[in-house]
Structures are given as C-alpha cells and as structure tokens.
Structure 1
C-alpha cells in the first residue's frame, strides 16, 4: 500500500485472515500498534519495545472479533511513543501527516489510525483512548471518534498506559460504519425512552464564544429537550483535570517503569520526563485524586440516570501546527485535558463527531451513562452530523 501520510508502521506484510461475510464485510481495518496481530511485532511506538517484541503468534481478542465480523486488516499504525501524548509525534517513527490540513498536528496517540481513516486508506481505525487518544485525533482529522464505556471491550494483550482509564476505541469517516462496529463488538441496543441533552455552562465557557454559539445552535436545531446547568459537577474542571493527571502519571510510571529502568536512553526526552514526573507523585496525592474521581463518578451517575446526555466540545482549543514549539503543545494538551478527562474519570462513553456546515475543526461530543453507547449514536444521527 502506498502511504504518503506515514500512517502505517513499515512492517513486511503478513497474511491476516478474516471472515468472508459479517457485519464488517468490505470494511478495511487499521490497527494501532499497541494490539498484537499474529505475524507482526508490536512496538508501542518505541524502538526498544520493537526490538524485544518478536513476531506475535496470536491476535488480540478484540482484533480477532473484528476480523471474525468480516473486517479486512490493512496494517498496523503509528502511535505516539508508549501511547503517552495527545500530539501525534514520534522521534522513532515520525509524525503522521494530517490529510485534512498537513500544517497541523494529526493528534495522538492514535495518530496513525486517525490518519489512515482520514486519508481513505482504511474504513475503521482501531486505537486506544486513555486521556483522549481517540477523541482528539478524531476531532483534528474531521472523523467520528468513539471512546466506549470503560471495561466493556476486551483489552487483553493491549499494552497498558493507565489501566484506570485505558479503553480500546474506534474512528470512522461517517456514522454508519461506526454503528456497524458497535454491533460487531456486542454493544447492547439503546432503550426507547427519548433522551434529553444537558448543556453545562462551565464547560462551554472554556471555548471560544463563537464556536460555543455554533455548537449550541446545532443542538437546538433538533426536536429534543435541552436542559442547562451551571456546572457538570461540584468540582471545578481544573480540579478534575489535576486528579486525572495525578492518577494518569502514577499509572503510566508503573506501566513503563521496567522499560525506563532497563533502557532510559531509548525513550524520547519529553516522554521520559513525563514518566519521571509520575515516579515523584506522592501516595497521598494519588489517594486524594482517586477520592475525587470516585465522587465525580457518583455525581455523573446521578446526572445521567434519567436518559440525559451531556453535550461537550471535543477540543478546548484549535490544534497547533506540527512545527510549533513544545510549549504550544503543552498548552494545547493542558487545555484539552480539562474536557477530555471527564469521560476517563467517570468511565462513561463519549462519541465525538464534526458538526456539518461549521467552519474549522468544530467537533461536538456526547457523553452518556455507562453502557449507553448506542444511545449516543442514535442522538448523533438525529443531530445530522453527516
């Protein structure tokens, strides 16, 4: 396959079979290089991990489920190193090129899967989402991005980053193949009760007023009940982001401690520094962060218990240029985490999709109750996202 976008890892082709018929027949599948696929190594975006990998002899259960549903494997895709970024860069294998705007970052860490789908090289991009690694690149590349309910999909053989938040997820160019994926992986059907949409003022205050107005106008254009509230929870977005980052950093260190201690020189300096930050997090800080996460999750459960869906901007800022200074990447990441952390802390599913007839990278997200993933799809259809 010709890949001018650097979406795929440069592995020799191996035969990966798939069912002749099924819900995903005719759809091409690109797999983030965190999942094992028989006949291929797994690098997780790191040269030392690649060197130690060897050729895998079995395929990750989730990938096999997709193959058994008829999806055709087309390659393993680039990822931010150790899946520990939201930008899309990688000093070992290069940064994929954003087909929508080559001057902008592709977003990460599921950068290659997003780019493969956006460039038309795949129909389904399988990735992972810990702190936004499906939703952010989906938004940047103008795609549908689904972060499923935490724990609902099989993540066996998936290399962990922060298990409290890690989930496999998907990207597609339109809603119909995403609906087929949801069926193929066994998401339960939505109930028939009509949902209402909740707009939290403190969330929309984080983004540009004109963009917020466009999003709210889009929500109001459909015949669905709209509710408003001052805040999504009793905690500030900054406090929630801090709790999320505290847990993320500690768990990322624990997941990668052995690699760091064995081959520190094999890890990019910015990733290594982030890992070291996790090693310095105090136990009391982690306990407090987990307390906040538990309370927030309880509050969200109460908020969403009556067929309520929360509408969110997917991104808090416009994506930076791919040649921007590291400080710009840090500012972008920090701003976006305040919104992206809500799904991670609560364990709830989130579906991101572009708003039609809006200028720029305008991506709207729907956050729903646990296991209400299919309801998010139904509401997105009503919002005429395509």
Structure 2
C-alpha cells in the first residue's frame, strides 16, 4: 500500500486472517504499534524495543475480536515513542503528516492510526489513550475519537504506559462506524436519553470565546435540555492536571524503567527527561495525587449519577505547526492535558467529534458516567444531524 503520509510502520506484510462476514466486514483496520499482531514485531515507537521484540506469534485479544467481526487488517501504525507524548513526532520513525493540514502536527500518541483514517487508508484506527492520545489526534485530524470507560476493553498484549489511565480506543471518520465498532467489541446498548447536557462555565472560559460560542450554539441546536454550571469539581483544572501528571510520570517510569536503565541513549531526550522526572517523585507526592484523583472521581460520580452528560472542548488551543519550537509543543501539551485529564482521573468515557459547519474546525467532546459509551454516540448523532 502506498503511504505518503508516514502513517504505517514499514514492516514486511504478513498474513493476518479475518472473518469473511461480520459487523465490521468491509472495514479496514489500522493497529497502533503497541498491540501485538501475529506475524509482526511490536516496537512501541522505539528502535531498541523493536530490536528486542522478535516476531509475535499470538494476537492481542482486542485485535482478534475485531478480526473475528470481519475487520480487515491493513498494517501497524506509527506512534510517539513509548506512547509518551501528544504531539505525533518520533526521532526513530518520523512524524506522520496530517492530511487535513500538512503544516500542523498530527497529534499523538496514536498519530499513525489517526493519519491512516484521515487519509482514507483505513476505516478504523485502533489506538490507545492515556492522557489524550486518541482524543487529541482525532480532534487535530477532524475525526471521531472514542476513549472508552476505563477497564471496559481487553488490554492484554498491549504495551503499557500508565495502567491507571491506559485504555485502548478507536478513531473513525464518522459516527456510524464508531457505533458499529462499539457494538462489535461488546459495549452495552444505550436505551436512555441523557436527562441533560451540562456546560461547565469555567472550562469553556479557558478557550477562545468565538470557538466556545460555536460549541454552545451547536449544543443548543439539539432537542435536549442544556444546563450551565460554574464548575464540575471542587478542584481547579491546574490541580487536577498536576495530580494526573504526577501519577502518569510515576507509572510511566515504572513501565519503562528497565529500558531506560539498559539503554538511556536509545530514548529521545524529551521522553527520557519525563521518565527521569517520574523516577524522582517523592512517594508522598504520588499518594497525594492519588488522593485527589479518588476524590475527583467520587465528585464526578455524584455529578453524573442522574444520567447527565458533560460537554467539553476537546482541545484547549489550536495545534502548533509541525516545525514549531519545543517550547510551543510543551505549551500545547500542558494546556490540553488540563482538559484531557478529566476522563483519565475519573475513568469515564469521552467521545470527541468535529462540529458540523464550524469555520474553526473545532472538536467537541461528550463526557459521561462509566458504561455510557454508546449513549455518547447517540447524543453526538443528534448534535451533528443535518
């Protein structure tokens, strides 16, 4: 397959069989190179991991589920190194090209899967989302991005980054195939309508006013109750982001400690620096971060217990250009994590989707209580109906 976008890792083709018929028949599947696929290595975006991988002889169970449902595997996709970034760059394998705007970053860490879908090289992009690695590239590339309820999908034979937050997830070009994917992987059906959609004033105040106005207008166009609230939690976004990053860095260090200690020079300097920060965290800092996460999760449970959905901007700011300075990447990552961390800390599902006829190519997200994944799709379909 011709790949001018650098979406796929250029592995030699292996025979990956799929069911002849099923709900995903006719849909092409691109798999992030964090999942084991029989006949291929798993590199996790790192040359040393690739050299040590060997050819896998078994299939990640989630990948097998998709193949059994009829999806046709078309290749393994590039990822940020060790899945530890939101930008889409990789010093070993290069940065995929954003088909929507080649001047911008593709977003990461599920960069290749997002680009493969956006470029029309695949219909389903399987990725992972720890701190936004599906939702962010979906938003940047104009896609639907689903971060599932934490723990709802099989994550065996998937290389971890931060298990408290890691989830497999998906990207598609439209909502209909996403709904089909949710059904195929066993998500429970959604018969309910939300009692209301909640707009948190403090969160929408952090983004561009014109974008916020377009998002709120889109929400009001649907035939369902809209409510405003000052905030969704007693913690500031900055405090939640700090707790999230603390847990993430500690677990990322634990997941990659052996690699770092054996081959520190084999890891990009910015990734290595974040790993090293995780190694230096004080245990009390980590305990306090976990305490905040637990309290926030309980507050979200109370907020959403009556079938409420929260609307959120997917991104905090416009994505930088692919040749921007490292400081711009860091500022973008830091700003976006303040919004993207909410699903990770709470374990709740989030669905990102582009707003129809929005001049600014904005992405809106719906955030619901655990297990309401398919309801989020139904609501998004109502919001995007012409």
Same fold (TM over 0.5): yes
Corresponding residue for residue 271 of structure 2: 271
Q: Which runs of 5+ in 2 are unaligned?
A: none
| Count of residues paired in the alignment | 386
Deviations 1:282-306 (A, max 9, x none): 1000000000000000000010111
TM-score, normalising length from structure 1?
0.99
1:330 aligns with 2:330: yes
1:56, 1:184 → 2: CA distance? 24
Corresponding residue for residue 89 of structure 1: 89
Corresponding residue for residue 123 of structure 2: 123
Q: Which runs of 5+ in 1 are unaligned?
A: none
1:1-386 to 2 correspondence within 5 Å? 1-384=1-384
> How big is the shift at 1:232?
1.1
Conservation of the 8 A alpha-carbon contact between 2:147 and 2:168: yes
RMSD: 0.7
TM-score, normalising length from structure 2?
0.99
2:178, 2:214 → 1: CA distance? 25
2:242, 2:273 → 1: CA distance? 18
Report SS of the residue matched to 2:384.
Answer: coil
Report SS of the residue matched to 2:31.
Answer: strand
> How big is the shift at 1:192?
2.6
Conservation of the 8 A alpha-carbon contact between 1:195 and 1:225: yes
1:385, 1:293 → 2: CA distance? 36
Which segments of structure 1 move beyond 3 Å, counting only runs of 4 or more? none
> How big is the shift at 1:191?
2.9
2:223, 2:51 → 1: CA distance? 55
